[in-house]
Amino acid sequence: MPAPASPLQPLFRSKSELAYEELRRRILTGVIEPGDVIGQTKLAAELGLSTTPLREALKRLSTEGLVELGSHRDARVVPLSQAEAQNLYEVRAAADPLACGLAAERRDDADIARIDAALSELEPLTGVASPDALDAHRRFHLAIYEAAANPTLLGILEGLWDKTDLYRQRALRAWSPTAEDRARVHRQHTALRDAIVAGDPELARERSRKHITHSLGRRAIGTLEPSAARDSETAE
């Protein structure tokens, strides 16, 4: 399932929700690394939970592309591959500019307000980015995708974001962005917002393509060995 569109947390969270949040945090911060097997009994005891809410959390993480579930209740963090990183980048490079162009044509005042609010909450992604920082980044782009008013395209792009958070973290670990790098990314986000607010679809598509060219998803491709392959015996 996609990350929430709002940073607000409910007052009550179930045990499976708490397990999901903690497990997702460990995966995205590298405490549990790509390819690692997740020991459910040990982890459940560590979290003070039964294995039932933990399995529910694992199923949710599986739908997000972060965890693979085997046939015997075993689970592991998805291993990374250069081929998948390339595939994800190619699809986003086609779909993202389309969404940005449609957003420039179809956005309304409520869309603009959501985009501006999300832009104001963006944090620089450096080192090992926190799940909160990754979710803030997602909310900005999701606000744009929603403004495109195309549910099919929205579903495709949400799925891409689910699968690429691990690749973003991989790129951040291999690349140390400078203050100028962070300022450039902020300028790109702001420029993209301005094109959409101005109602200029051609400019929005152009700025989206430029942004994706420098994206962490593309940088991740060069950090992986061409021979890296997914284990086909483990179901995704």
Residue 85 pLDDT > 70, yes or no? yes
Percent of the chain residues past pLDDT 70, beyond the cut: 90
Model pLDDT for residues 22-58, shown as the tens digit of each residue: 999 898 888 899 999 998 888 889 989 999 999 999 9
Give the other-Cβ count within 10 Å of 45's Cβ.
Answer: 13
Average pLDDT over residues 200-222: 94
Model pLDDT for residues 120-152, shown as the tens digit of each residue: 999 877 766 788 888 899 999 999 999 999 999
Residue 37 pairs with which residues in a beta bridge? 76
Q: Which domains does the chain have, with CATH numbers?
A: 15-77 (1.10.10.10), 82-221 (1.20.120.530)
> Residue 132: its pLDDT value, please?
85
For every residue of 96-112, DSSP letters joined together read: HHHHHHHHHHH--HHHH
What is d(CA 138, CA 165) in angstroms, rounded to the nearest whole number? 10
